Amino acid sequence: MEVEVAMTLSERLNLSAFRDDAEQWLRDAVPERWRMRRSSLSPEEITAVRREWDKQLHRGGYAGLSLPREYGGQGLGLAEEVVFHELAARAHAPEGFGRIGKILTAPTLIVHGTPEQQARFLPGILSGEQVWCQGFSEPDAGSDLASVATTARRDGDGYRVTGQKIWTSFADVADRSLFLAKTNPDAPRYRNLSMLLLDMKQPGVTVRPIKQISGTSHFAEVFFEDVWVADADRLGGEGEGWKVAMTVLQNERGAIEGITRYVEMRWDLDLLLRCCAARIGRTLDAEDFDVRLELVRWQVSKAVELVDDPVAFARASSVLKVTWSELWQEMTQLAIAASCPEHRAHWRHQYLETRASSIYSGSSEIQRNIMAERVLGLPK
């Protein structure tokens, strides 16, 4: 991937050297049993590999690449972060359990956290010792995040949390949750929420995995009954949860997610072009997908170049989620129609998995509203 367009010669050479080193490290670090026989591993073995991978990243110097050194990161840029995620996807590296912690929680702690919170949580996040989940979506408040109903009522020097979250990735293994709750039911909308750093291992937390249509269980529903959160574990001021959540969502829908999805989709599209589309005379459609997929990669590169301009960066990143999620759905629809005997099982799984891609991390409808209001400046 070319992200060096706006860089100096020295920066391009440094990024090239980083890419070479990372590629070699990944060749040596990805466990052989994961690379060669992942499908035959037991759930317990898969969990062990994924936990260890987070620790390997830390030992190898690849955890927190774009986080400042004073917070335990590597002090590099978004360009290196994007390049590494692309290489890791191409190397079929395991996905650790640290994604929520490193991509969402850590940057949000740096912006909104107290020095004490940063010292307590950042080392464990970066080392892989502490797993985080994201307690945002609820049965009646998914894309309409401001309508969360889970309450955190004041109790002395903290809160008692009661309610339910759903579609929560990593909930079954998480130590902590980046958690949005209603702390003042009488306050106006957007000012009645607070962001909490909730302990998932305490009494009152019940996790129930959700079996998806594809047969996998990436998510869970989680129930909370009088769960304790101290004032020291509130991120930002009381009533500032919406502002903190916007920081989280900007990272969730950004360039790193875009390039990781690009690599997975590239494998699917190559298979479609090489074999399946030709079976039903739809090669031209697949070639159109090819152009659109490369535009995703180009848009990630553009966003990386604009990282020092927060407004321009947000605009460049805002189109990514809608672009790749809807394209992936169209690709798998064509693949299902091809009914290729050799790859039928693969496409059935991908088709079912991608049904949710235009919903999670903010539905396409919500994303289009964001682009209309914040990029195009249209009235609400």
Q: Which residues are catalytic?
A: 252
CA atoms within 13 A on the CB side of 372: 9
- In whole angstroms, give the CA distance from residue 110 to residue 113: 6
Which residues, including other chains, have CB under 8 Å from residue 170's CB and lie 6 or more apart?
97, 99, 100, 131, 132, 133
- Signed CA dihedral, 99, 103, 105, 109: sign only: positive
- What length does the chain have? 380
User: What is the C-alpha to C-alpha distance for residues 154 and 159, in angstroms, rounded to an integer?
Assistant: 5
* Torsional class of 199: left (φ above 0), alpha (ψ -120 to 50), beta (otherwise): beta
Name which of 94, 90, 99, 74 is nearest 1 in CA terms. Answer: 90
Counting Cβ atoms within 10 Å, is residue 226 exposed (0-12), middle (13-18) or buried (19+)?
exposed
| H-helix or E-strand spanning residue 68 | none
Please say whether the dihedral angle defined by the alpha carbons of residues 188, 190, 194 and 196, taken in this order, is positive or negative.
Answer: positive
CA-CA distance, 55 to 71, in Å (whole number)? 17
DSSP per-residue string spanning 102-159:
IIIIHHHHHHH--HHHHHHHHHHHHHTSS-EEEE--BTTBSS-GGG---EEEEETTEE
Phi and psi (nearest 5°) for 177?
A: -130, 135
CA distance linking residue 221 with residue 163, whole number of Å: 11
